[in-house]
Structure 1
């Protein structure tokens, strides 16, 4: 009887866990975005000014309550754990050219993708920015969309225009046109959205997480979470 009660107790206290990949070319702000999620959740996080390029992967479990970041303080993190109703296991993967081929190895078990780009062009000549933008969209198309499309993996995709705190940034309308053109060429109608954020200041983070959580739940029949 004791073991039965114990089993039921653990089952009730298990929470759905969704794996989310953070992808993008190098220096787009992927690691800063993950550290901002940790900061907002009251977890220990790295100083944004001391973040080094990711050579492999960074992973964090981000607690979600009522569809939003818990925004709890570090002192009550453990006390609030039981109130969490969902966990996002977030993987920040290296965007360096030679390591992008490893992204696809994570696609089988992930529930959503966050693709981050640097939308600022402070102190960058227009020609160089256009080249960076073209490269960013091309990587998104070839290393993300085409692989997902070919293997029938229709999962939510959130595209984030990062560094919106800078003085000069790409117009979000132009950004949508560039990425929607790539999305339109796929067989699948991917559930996607493009949103502006600043990973450094936290601007737009809550909105994008709220959208992501809703889409994960909506897509859970096709790609169910694991329970832990």
Structure 2
């Protein structure tokens, strides 16, 4: 899968593992997306109450994923899971326009301002693209004003967790290399991001 390719090469540590934090509002499709990436059955999905931890082994690489519930009552506890994160994954239900403001001005904005997530690469899945009401990934970039984000590497990937469309990311290798440079040279992150946006 594209995500596994990103993380397999993201950080070459002696332990050969990466730590992911998977967040998003309730009903955004986080758990379904994670199960698809892990090639698991998605016929019975229930809302995440609290959190799920999934470890995925691939080609000698260990992927540790924390899938945290997105209900309003759970979100205040997100900050307790921010330590030692290699990649922040945020899933957005692109068919639910009424909740965009909740993400734009609230949840995602707050996460990007957290000191513990400073320079942590951001991968956004623009989910539910199988629905006709869904906005495109490019519209999402504009709505979130992501072009102003200069302190980290980011990518928005259109997908459907239900059909698995878009979960095999063709640009994963390029994103991985850019994230690697960002982590290795975080003191020069502004220059790196300038190069990233100009390509």
Match of residue 95 from structure 1: 70
Contact 2:119 2:182 (8 Å CA) reproduced:
no
Q: State yes or no: 1:16 paired with 2:16.
A: yes
**1:175 to 2:140 alignment:** yes
| Partner in structure 2 of residue 136 of structure 1 | 103
Structure 1 position 213, deviation (Å) = 4.3
- TM-score for both structures, normalised by structure 1: 0.66
TM-score for both structures, normalised by structure 2: 0.75
CA distance in 1, matches of 2:61, 2:156: 23
Using the TM superposition, give the Cα deviation of residue 208 of structure 1 relative to its aligned residue in structure 2, in angstroms.
7.5
Give 3-state SS (helix, strand or coil) of 2:155's partner: strand
- Map of 1:1-228 to 2, 5 A cutoff? 15-39=15-39, 45=40, 47-64=41-58, 84-121=59-96, 129=97, 131-138=98-105, 139-142=107-110, 144-147=111-114, 150-151=115-116, 153-180=118-145, 184=148, 189-207=151-169, 210=172, 213-215=176-178, 217-221=180-184
Aligned length, in residue pairs: 171
Over 3 Å counting, the alpha-carbon distance change for 1:198 and 1:214 in structure 2 is farther
Per-residue deviation, residues 114-173 of structure 1 (Å, max 9, x unmatched): 10000125xxxxxxx2x311112221112x1121xx456211001111011122211322
**Structure 2: which 5+ runs fail to align?**
1-13, 187-199
Give 1:218 deviation, angstroms.
3.6
Q: Indicate the structure (1 or 2) with the bigger Cα radius of gyration.
A: 1
Pairwise CA distance, 1:105: 1.6
